[in-house]
Amino acid sequence: MANHDAPRAHALFGTLLFAAGCILGVAAVSAQEAAVKKGPDPLFASDTTLTLSLTANFRTLAKDRDTVSRKSYSAVLAYIGPDSRPVTLNVHLETRGHYRLKRSTCEFPPLRVSFDKTEVAGTLFEHQKSLKLVTHCDNSSSKAEQLILKEFLLYRVYHQLTDLAFLARLVKMTYQDSVEANGKLVKFGFFVEDDGRLAKRNGMKLAKVKLTRFDDPDMDHNEGNLLGMFQYFIGNTDWSLPFLHNIRILANETGTNYPVAYDFDWSGAVDASYARPDARLPIRTVRERLYRGPCLKEQDLTATLASFKAKKGVIYQLYEGRPDITADTKKSTLEYFDEFYHQIDDPKHAQEAFRVVCPR
C-alpha cells in the first residue's frame, strides 16, 4: 500500500508547498458538474459484502516480496452469480506495494488481480482489467480484519463528501492454496476502483502531471479544500499533492485538475500498529491531527467545514449497526470523529487548527 521511501523523504518540502496554496474563489457552476458522468461498474454498484474464493499457490506467492520486479501467478476467482450458478474466472495475481509488502510488516501481501476481458464479459467483473485487492496484514489476528474494515469505511466516508472518490467493494475472501489442501484462510478485504474507471465514471481523464500544487491556476480549489480537510479529519499525513503520493489527478475537458485521495491505512482513524508519522513532522502518533492542506481564508474555511457538518449524520450512520465491526472499533472511530466535530464547532479552535500562512 503506502510507499514510505522517497515520498516520505519529501514530506517537509511537500508541507511547505501545501502552505503556499491558497483558494482564489468559488465557481458558480464547475466544469466537473457539466461533465458527462456514468454509473458505477457492476462490481461497485452494490454496497453488500461480496463472498468470493481465490485459489492460487499462496505459499509461493507470499514469499514474493520484490518491489522492483513483479511476477505474475495464475489463480482462479470464483463466486456464486445472481442466478445461483457458480462463476469461475481465470485471473493473475501480483504482489504490490512497498511498506506493507515487507515481510517484517505484514504476513500476507497486498495483491493486484488482473482479468481477461473476454472472460469477465457479462460477469460481476465486467469492464475490469486490473484491480487492487487490499488484504489483511496478519493471518491469525482478528484486529487485522478490523483494520481492513476501518480503511474500507474511510473510502465510503470520502465518497459521501464528493463523487470524486474511489469506490470500494468489501469482500469476504476465501484464500485457498492450490498445493496445500489445508492452506485456507477466510478474511475480509476490499477491491478499489481502477483509476481509469474512476475518471471515466466522472466524465474525465487521468491528468498527465508530474508536479502540482493547490494554488496552481488549473487546480479546482473547492476539491483541493475538501481533500485537505478530509485528510485532517481522518488524521492522515501520508500523502503529498506536489509529489502525487497517494493522490491521483483527474482532468476535465477544459483542463481543470481535480485531486483524489486514496490509501488511508496510515491514518489515525485506522490506527494500524505499524503506522508512524514522519519523524520531521511535529506529531508523534498518527492519532494526532496535523493540517497539511491548502491555505484556507475565512470564507473558504466556512464553506469547507459546512460540507463536513452537513454530512456528519450520514458519516456516522456508516458505522452504526454494522455487524462486521466490533463495538470497540465503532467507539474508538466515532470518538475520534467527535474530536474533529467538537473542534470545528468552536470557531476559535478551528481558526487555530487551520492557521496556514496565506500569500498576500
Same domain, 92 and 231: no
Q: Is residue 358 part of a domain?
A: no
Q: Is residue 272 packed enough to be buried (19+ CB in 10 Å), middle (13-18) or exposed (0-12)?
A: buried
Same-domain check for residues 315 and 276: yes
In this structure, are 145 and 109 located in the same domain? yes
Residue 348 confidence (pLDDT): 81
Q: Is the pTM of this model over 0.85?
A: yes
Are both 16 and 66 inside the same structural domain?
no
Nearest to 205 by CA among 256, 242, 270: 256
Q: Are 163 and 44 in contact (CB under 8 A)?
A: no
Looking at residue 23, its pLDDT comes to 35
51: which DSSP letter? Answer: E
Residues 46 and 103 in one domain: yes
Q: Is residue 165 part of a domain?
A: yes
User: H or E segment at 177?
Assistant: strand 168-177
Domain-terminating residue out of 197, 221, 238: 197
Task: Give how many domains the chain has, as a whole number.
Answer: 2
User: What is the extent of the structural domain holding 126?
Assistant: 42-197
Q: Which helix (H) or strand (E) holds 53?
A: strand 50-56
Q: What is the pLDDT of residue 359?
A: 63
> Does a structural domain hold residue 70?
yes
214 contacts 240 by C-beta, under 8 angstroms: no
Written as one letter, the residue type at 230 is F
Domain boundary among 139, 164, 197: 197
Q: Would you give the DSSP letter of residue 260? A: E
pLDDT digits (tens, 9 = 90+) for 16-48: 344 444 333 333 344 444 457 889 999 999 999
Q: In Å, how far are 26, 42, 164, 239 from 18, measured between CA atoms?
A: 19, 37, 20, 11
Residue 188 lies in a domain: yes
Interatomic CA distance for residues 327 and 309, integer angstroms: 24
Residues 47 and 193 in one domain: yes
- Do residue 231 and residue 346 come from a single domain? yes
Q: How many whole angstroms separate alpha carbon 160 and alpha carbon 116? A: 32
CA distance 87 to 123: 8
With a cut of 70, list the residues of the chain below it in pLDDT. 1-35, 355-357, 359-360
Report yes or no on 118 lying in a domain.
yes
Residue 266 belongs to a domain: yes
Judgement on whether residues 170 and 235 belong to the same structural domain of the protein: no
- Any idea which residue has 508530474 for its cell? 210
d(CA 349, CA 305): 13
* 235 shares its domain with 267: yes
Task: Say yes or no: 88 and 18 in one domain.
Answer: no
Phi and psi at 254, nearest 5°, equal -90, 0
DSSP symbols for 93-145: EEE--STTTSTTT-SS--EEEE--HHHHTTSTTTT-SEEEEE--S-SS-HHHH
The verdict on 346 and 237 lying in the same domain is yes
Question: All 3 cell numbers of residue 48?
Answer: 453488500
Residues 46 and 193 in one domain: yes
